[in-house]
Amino acid sequence: MKKVLFGLLVVFGFQTNTMAQSKLPAVEVKTMEFESFNTSEISNDGKPIIVNFWATWCSPCKRELNNISDMYEDWVDETGVKLVAISIDDARNMGKVAPYVNGQSWEYDVYIDPNGDLKRAMGVNNVPHTFLLDGKGNIVWQHNSYSEGDEYELFELVKKLSKGESISK
């Protein structure tokens, strides 16, 4: 039983370097105005990028993004990090994304993945799911789920990356 629980923690908990050296796939998603956007255009001048998958129906997702929002300006000032929020709301619910985001004080780029193409390409099975990309666009870390305070660990990793340090354990 302990082995099963440990295995589940590894699969659903923190996952470090499982996608090391892979890149963000080039997939068509939608802007909040429902225009097509290719994820290959996401860049940040050699600085770290956080890609966060979320949904309007996911309370932990919204808590995580709202908690990060409270500190995001400081994060950007200190590290130059960019956060890109990808909603996995499907075609039936994607109309709820813009009203929700517009009601928040998020300074993030927000895109919608209504067909789940990017979600599938990145192996996202549930949300929230956060990926961290280094300045070269390599996926160097990922985390699935959210607990209060996870944003502090994420920021520590972002600070290391912004200094050119390795985040491997």
**Of 52, 127, 151, 128, nearest to 159 (Cα)?**
151
Write down the pLDDT at residue 14.
40
Residue 152 sits in a domain whose CATH number is 3.40.30.10
Tally of structural domains, the chain: 1
> Considering the entire predicted model, what is its pTM?
0.85
* Residue span of the structural domain in which 59 resides: 15-162
Tell me whether residue 92 is in a domain. Answer: yes
Q: How far is CA 7 from the centre of its chain?
A: 23
- Burial of residue 164 (CB within 10 Å: 0-12, 13-18, 19+) is exposed
- Give tens-digit pLDDT for 51-104: 999 999 999 999 999 999 999 999 999 999 999 999 999 989 999 999 999 999
- Burial of residue 118 (CB within 10 Å: 0-12, 13-18, 19+) is buried
Q: Mean pLDDT for the chain? A: 88
